Amino acid sequence: MVSFLLRAKPIMYVGFFLLFFFILDMVVIMLPSEYFINSGVDRSFRELGYWITIITVITIDPIIETFCFQYLVLKLVRKFIQRPKFNLVPYVLLSSIIFGFIHDSSGFYTAYAIIAGVILSIATYFAFYKKYGFFLVVSIHGIHNFIALVL
């Protein structure tokens, strides 16, 4: 699996992680929608309008969140734990918990965001070794946000 992630072409890399988001979202769709109300996005629709919210959610938010909650956290963990063999798990746990709690709209939505954070942090960890890796993760995040808005 590690070998595949390190050698995968960009489209395969993005598609691989979007598959996990697809599975996660299919589970979420089966649950009552009131569990996953995202008050931040709802408020943005009201205050900023439809198109500005969509543009923000699929472009600006993924760039800022990937940088702050995946990339910087990875740099921090790698500073304290240099060996890749030992820094993956602490990084994924720290990054996904921070990512989840920053998306605190409800208990279920936070849990969903933590799981999404696991997917994104693993994507970031292996993308760190790829050319344009940051933008691969931003693409995964942005495409997922777009799909979540549509659903």
Q: Would you say the C-alpha torsion 89, 95, 99, 104 has a positive or negative sign?
A: positive
CA distance 113 to 128: 21
**Residue 136 pLDDT exceeds 90:** yes
The crossing angle, in degrees rounded to 10, of helices 133-150 and 107-127 is 150
What is the tens place of the pLDDT at every residue in 57-102? Answer: 899 999 999 999 999 999 999 999 988 889 999 999 999 999 999 9
pTM of the model: 0.89
Give the model's pLDDT for residue 50. 77
pLDDT band at 35 (very low <50, low <70, confident <90, very high): low
Taking Cα atoms as reference points, which of 7, 9, 36, 61 lies closest to residue 115?
36
**Residue 120 half-sphere exposure, CB side, CA atoms within 13 Å?**
34
The number of folded domains in the chain is: 1
Q: How far apart are CA 110 and CA 72, in angstroms?
A: 21
Rounded to the nearest 5 degrees, what angle is found at the Cα of 111, between the Cα atoms of 105 and 113? Answer: 70
Amino acid at 89: V
The more confident residue out of 106 and 52 is: 52
Domain membership of residue 46 as a residue range: 2-150
Q: What pLDDT, on a 0 to 100 scale, did the predictor assign at position 131? A: 84
Mean predicted confidence (pLDDT) in 44-53: 75
Band of pLDDT at residue 3, cut at 50, 70 and 90? confident
Q: What is the pLDDT of residue 43?
A: 65
**3-state DSSP assignment of residue 82:** coil
Q: Which two tokens stand for residue 49?
A: 């309008």
The candidate with the shortest Cα–Cα distance to 5, out of 133, 102, 145, is 133
Identify the pLDDT of residue 41. Answer: 62
Q: Does residue 47 register a pLDDT over 80?
A: no
**pLDDT, mean of residues 21-43:** 76
Q: How far apart are CA 126 and CA 133, in angstroms?
A: 8
